[in-house]
Amino acid sequence: MKILVPYDGSPASRAAVDEVARRPWPRGTEVCVAAVVEDPPSISLAEGGELYAPIMERWGERLREEAHRRVHRALERLKPHPDLEVGFELRRGSARETLLELVRERRTDLVVVGSQGIPGQPGLHIGSVWYVLATHAPCNVEIVRVGSRLAGDCVP
């Protein structure tokens, strides 16, 4: 079995990782914790725009480093599970498109996703992604909710 867990470090994505960690799985189940870092918004200036390119590249690199640290913390939560083969993917691009592409590439059997990401945080916004995964992924998608506060939430 192949499981994909989109991860942005939010309480909902941590709950998704915890849900995978707490269940019994067949020996050899592959779990991929995936983070997608969206490129920083581009700044277009008539003159001197190239001066900002190094700053934007550093910003993007910091976002990737933060995502890498978050993913490795998630991997630590899965490590004690003896039946899981755990790995990760860190990619750049649009979270929705990139995750769907990753699901197809890996021939994923199950996506376990949190229901809400970190508002205003650049990078992977789980809250806007779960709906796209649930409606477009070619596999089963489990949405893990956190707390009763989310019980009344709906997709606009």
Q: What is the pLDDT of residues 77-104, one digit of tens each?
A: 999 998 999 999 999 988 889 999 999 9
- Host domain of residue 19: 1-31+79-136
Structural domain includes residue 110:
yes
In a domain, 124, yes or no: yes
Domain assignment of residue 46, yes or no = no
User: 65-76 b/e with 16+ CB inside 10 Å = b?
Assistant: ebbeebbeebbe
What pLDDT does residue 72 have?
Answer: 92
The total number of structural domains in the chain stands at 1
Section 20-42 average pLDDT: 89
Q: Does 124 score more than 50 pLDDT?
A: no
Backbone angles phi, psi at 46, to 5 degrees: -60, -45
CATH of the domain at 108: 3.40.50.620
